[in-house]
Amino acid sequence: MDLTPFLDRIDDIYKNTDAAEIKSQINELDEGLRNLTRTVPVHPTELQWIKVKLGFIEEFSFPVLKQGKTSTLELFCAPDLVLFLSYYKNKMSKNIFIDIGANIGLHTLVARRCGLKTFSFEPDHDTYSIGKLFLEKNSCGMKFVDSTSISKNHNFSIESSYIEAAATEGFGEQTFVRFLDNPTGNHVKGYKKNIYGNVEEKIVKTIDINSFINKSFTAKIDAEGADAIILNRLISNPNFYNYSNAIHLCDWRDETRIDMYESIKNIKAEVKDGIGGNRIDSLIDTPANKSYDFVSILS
């Protein structure tokens, strides 16, 4: 599956397109990308591997797996390609990439291919296990830290790590809700109102996200309702304004929208719509679509 033409088109859009037209063209590109991924066969029970080409990321092996009513192929969308391009273009100005809500680690792989030291968090054991296979198969140079080996004094600062835990305010344990029909909806209990289909609860480890921040970083946050808590923790770090940082908020929903906006409205940083680039000046400027848009904070 060759996604390089989509990446090249995004690069061209941002070089040659009026800001008012960018979102429209990215949406059109996203539909084309969806049409392409729908042509890839998905086995009902078995994990299969395909080759994916992605421009500067070069070719990698990707696991195609049915997950309830969805599949891993739904991880590919045009706004994520916009982010991938930004990781590559800003790789020299950032030292660390933090992938919060990493899923199987697609953003992690891209960051590692860009040469960034990477810390990734995925609390769901089944998803973490697939991600471990994915990152190992592509020789991403990650240390794999499962939940049984995490302790309060664990030192993660030495090497890139894919961690079976939820990033939040501190070390501990919390109840985690798993959507059996759609793992992308998994979340820490209490942070999401729209509960649907078959679910189960598990206890997962949590880690203080600020344990990983000591220099410039890029963070992608897609934490299914816990985003405001993580954001507040990051921007409260005394070093936040001492470095050039980027935070990409990728999950927007009605129950957290006000809290998210309250956190960013007075922040001393550039806050903009991640696709169109317009400033976020009011609550209505925040993304309406929780899945395919994002807000970027640049300190």
Q: Are 156 and 145 in contact (CB under 8 A)?
A: yes
Mean pLDDT computed over every residue of the chain: 87
Residues 42 and 64: their CA atoms lie apart, in Å, by 6
pLDDT of 192? 65
* Tokens 């040469």, located at residue: 115
pLDDT at residue 189, rounded to an integer: 63
- pLDDT tens-digit profile of 29-88? 999 999 999 999 999 999 999 999 999 988 999 999 998 788 999 999 999 999 999 999
The mean per-residue pLDDT over the stretch 126-140 comes to 96
Q: Which fold has domain 78-298?
A: Rossmann fold (3.40.50)
In sequence order, what are the beta bridge partners of 179?
199
Instruction: Determine the average pLDDT of the residues in 171-200.
Output: 69
- Distance (Å) of CA 197 to CA 178, 254, 257, 282: 10, 20, 24, 34
List pLDDT tens digits, range 218-270. Answer: 999 998 778 888 999 998 888 888 888 999 999 888 888 898 899 998 888 89
> How much is the pLDDT for 91?
79
pLDDT per residue as tens digits for the range 80-127: 999 999 999 887 677 889 999 999 999 999 999 999 999 999 998 989
State the average pLDDT over residues 126-142.
Answer: 95
Beta pairing partners, 117: 96
Task: Find, among 194, 195, 220, 198, the residue nearest to 209 by Cα.
Answer: 220
Please state the domain extents for the chain: 78-298
Helix (H) or strand (E) holding 159: none
Could you tell me if residue 115 is left (phi over 0), alpha (psi between -120 and 50 degrees) or otherwise beta?
Answer: left
Task: Report pLDDT for 9.
Answer: 95
Read off the DSSP letter of residue 44: S
Decide which of 276 and 192 is more confident. Answer: 276
Closest by CA to 116, choosing from 146, 161, 60, is 161
Average pLDDT for 157-167:
87
Neighbours of 210 (CB within 10 A): 18
pLDDT at 159 over 80: yes
**Distance set, CA 193 to CA 102, 104, 145, 264 (Å):** 21, 24, 30, 22
